[in-house]
Amino acid sequence: MKFNLYSCIKLHYSLSYLAFVEVFFIKGKISKKELIKEIGKSIKNEELAAFIGAGLSVDAGFLTWSDLLREPASEIRLDIEKEIDLVNVAQFYSNVKLRSSIDNLIKQNFSRLYKPTKCHKLLAQLPISTYWTTNYDKLIEKALENNNKVPFTKTKDEDLRAINRNFDAIVYKLHGDVDSPSDAVITRTDYEEFGYNKRKLFREVLEGDLLTRTFIFLGFSFSDPNFNYVIGRLRVLLGESKTRKHYCIMKKISMCDKDYEYKKIKQELQIEDLNRYGIFTYLVDDYNEITRILQIIVNNYRRKTIFISGSADDYGDFTNEQGKTFLHLLSKKLAEKDYHIVNGYGKGIGDLLLSGVSEYCLARNKKILDCLTIMPFPQSISKEMYQLYNKNRIQMIEKCGIAIFVFGNKKGKGAEGVMEEFNISKKMNLSILPISCTGSAAMKISNEILSARSIDKDNLKAIQIANRNVKNNVKQLVENIIKAIEFLNKEED
């Protein structure tokens, strides 16, 4: 038993060492930390695009390509387990049963109303304006709609001429859509006509995006001949050293897989080959890790946007001058640190946040809208209008990752709006920073959080950092809040 335990420990460290060595010696393979960092840069530069393959739709309930063609293959006396070239299987089936049989197959399998996966939902939360997919389903469109975004779907060259000014993201469907199965790319004939008789402009648009955007590839096997033609053409025209960097996530070959050693060698060769086209690969042990990585990327993005909630008929233990200086300085310092502020323009709060951001932007020749989003709420509204504004409040808060609560008082009554924003922030899983020394609703929120049975340890530490005793020293208070926010923005593993 001792020998077995020792052997297991030795094997664990040997595999860990080999994994460490692989990151540095397999050309084109990157670490998780580097992947998250590079994707974060692309988000900041507004250059990120997503390429979604069939692998991302499997968890939603859709069939893999081999499972889709299993029954058709059997009908023409083929064994799908023995077939490597599935494009040929689709072509053979179309030859025997006519194209309409393929169209019905697509319609029957991809018209099902499956819900978007967690990965689709996370992608929809990111500021991505361009999605490419080889999938016939509508999962990414549905995920965007559920996230209050308007998708503009393009499936063929004719759609490229369409004019639509009311959209948030374009979804290019490289192989067509379930609504037009006769135009879908699935057989050998379809692939041969792609870029020539059909979707010629589509191919050129993809080439342009690969030149100007940074792609993250998810659920994509890189076995598609049309896509491989595009990246090959770009490599020839530009040279390997001048191709743009892109990133993909793949599942590592498991030791339990049949022909493990052979498949592992082939995967490593594929990673090195993809690197010729500027594509860097991160390998995950299981598909759930893709979701965790996307969640980290979303968290990192959202935490750069700070929601500040509050209202103030008075500034409690602060003098008017101290209260105003605190709010002005806080917004100015957040803008200096490249955070984006969101605020509902609460009384005694909004104008001071605006003045702080304005001072920074005027000095740096920057646009105020790049640093501050304001959504004013009327002080007195009807019940119907309240529901509408509350919906807007939810949309405003859900884009943020951190919520700061300051003051929160009104003459003759409490600040219901501030407490409502606190409840929404909790539901949206924001990191919450109540500044208790400002009193009123902020103090109430602080007491509620600190007395809760469970609280995220990082959020708790951030609250402690932000609320270190400064005895109304507003400059030190602002410094503490900035330190707390930077702590929450530390790199996740």
Distance CA 38, CA 67 (A): 35
Tokens in use for 390? Answer: 């509350």
CA-nearest of 453, 456, 418 to 438 is 418
Q: Which CA distances in Å does 25 have to 9, 21, 34, 44?
A: 24, 6, 15, 30
Residues whose CB is less than 8 angstroms from the CB of residue 305 and which lie 6 or more positions away in sequence, other chains included: 339, 340, 341, 342, 399, 400, 401, 402
Give the residue carrying structure tokens 């490249």. Answer: 338
Exposure b/e, 134-158, CB count within 10 A at least 16 = b:
bbbbbbbbbbbeebebebbbbbeee
Specify whether the CB–CB gap between 290 and 35 falls below 8 A: no
Distance CA 210, CA 128 (A): 14
* 175 assigned to active site: yes
Specify whether the CB–CB gap between 224 and 57 falls below 8 A: no
Specify whether the CB–CB gap between 69 and 86 falls below 8 A: yes
Distance CA 358, CA 364 (A): 10
Distance CA 406, CA 400 (A): 17
Specify whether the CB–CB gap between 54 and 158 falls below 8 A: no
Tokens in use for 72? Answer: 């058709």
Catalytic: which of 175, 246, 328, 340?
175
Specify whether the CB–CB gap between 439 and 422 falls below 8 A: no
Distance CA 201, CA 206 (A): 9
CA 46 and chain centroid, separation: 13
Instruction: Report which residue type is found at 359.
Output: E
- The residues carrying an active-site annotation are 175
